[in-house]
Amino acid sequence: MQVLQVQLEVGPDPAEVGRARRWARKRLAGSGIGDDEPLAETLVLLISELVTNAVVHTGCPAVLRMLFAAEGGVRVEVADSSDRPPRPRHAAGEDTNGRGLELVDGLADRWGWQPEGAGKSIWCEVDRTPAASAPGEGLGSPGRVHC
């Protein structure tokens, strides 16, 4: 399996989320995933949520990585220097926060987290074709899956 990896360093500022989205759109287009494909919108939303979580909940810089498999799957990873595991929250009614990891869980084919250096990496994967892999199989090590 061939994998192309691109990455972006993200500062600890909420304005970086918009920059990460713009960067991701360009990289997706460069990989052959058009702006008009539903996959592109799904990936940009997933990136937005994961980068937002890293920036807002850790206050630390992060690294956004996208890995493109030759088979068409895309893995998104956001690594930060906080060793605190992600904690899914459940928003109620009109709450404006607390839905990020629920969105990731609903949109990604797989997601989880794993220790990375002194911090952690939260990842998710989206298959380009519906039956590209069996549940639980991923582009890299599975880490700890929270489904």
Cross-strand partners of 10: 62
> At residue 136, does pLDDT exceed 60?
no
> In the prediction, which pLDDT does 23 show?
97
pTM over 0.85: no
Six-digit token string for 24: 């991701």
The alpha carbon dihedral of 143, 132, 46, 75 has a sign of: positive
* pLDDT tens track for 90-133: 655 665 565 678 889 999 999 999 999 999 999 999 998 654 33
Decide which of 89 and 145 is more confident: 89
